[in-house]
Structure 1
């Protein structure tokens, strides 16, 4: 999903060793910082989702997960820092799960509850830590 020209470019260019930061879609709330952090771990691509995910902010996460499934044999979604997730997030996770490459690691209480209520926890490969997900 392309970023608008008026967004702060600095946040899009942040890079740490072996971690790529991708800003969330602008919501007009400068205090909200939704990020997707990507890095490789033992041959798996880890995609760390941080913040709120709904139909207005899912784009960067969807792009990161799609790219990860195209380039890596195993994809780990670290959901420990997800503060809000709705059906848009759940739909994305299910679609990526269908590739056979996805593991969900350390889901936040909100993500865990969403998966439990919908019954998706019996379908997804959910692990307690990123290390457990990489090893599975």
Structure 2
């Protein structure tokens, strides 16, 4: 599980990108990303989510309203695996 906190845009997404890349490289069948504490997101985070989904099975947990809105507007909510909570995402991965 990777936990994201704070604001994410093209200039600040790199640490999260490294963490998700490490998780995918470790060969885990599923990577859960808890985004419940994300306070701002733009296309930088959206692009990272899509790229990570291509590398591994990504489960996104606890999307706050602003992030969910971006995902819905772009149609990414149809391509990504979204869960109400990290517990739900982890339970589905078992």
Question: Normalising to structure 2: TM-score of the pair?
Answer: 0.92
User: In angstroms, what is the RMSD of aligned CA positions?
Assistant: 0.9
Measure how far apart 1:100 and its partner are: 3.5
**Deviation digits for residues 53-109 of structure 1 (CA, Å, limit 9, x no counterpart):** 011111100000000111122101101111111101000000001124200001111
**Alpha-carbon separation, structure 1, partners of 2:50 and 2:10:** 15
Larger Rg: 1
Question: Normalising to structure 1: TM-score of the pair?
Answer: 0.65
Identify the residue that residue 122 of structure 1 maps to in structure 2: 78
Relative contact order higher in (CA < 8 Å, ≥ 6 apart): 2
SS of the aligned residue for 1:93 comes to helix
Q: Give 2:52's match in structure 1, choosing from 80, 91, 96.
A: 96
Identify the residue that residue 59 of structure 1 maps to in structure 2: 14
- 4+ runs deviating over 6 angstroms: none
Query: Retained in 2: the 8 A contact 1:82–1:110?
Result: no
> Unpaired runs of 5+ in structure 2?
none
Aligned positions, number: 91
> Unpaired runs of 5+ in structure 1?
1-45
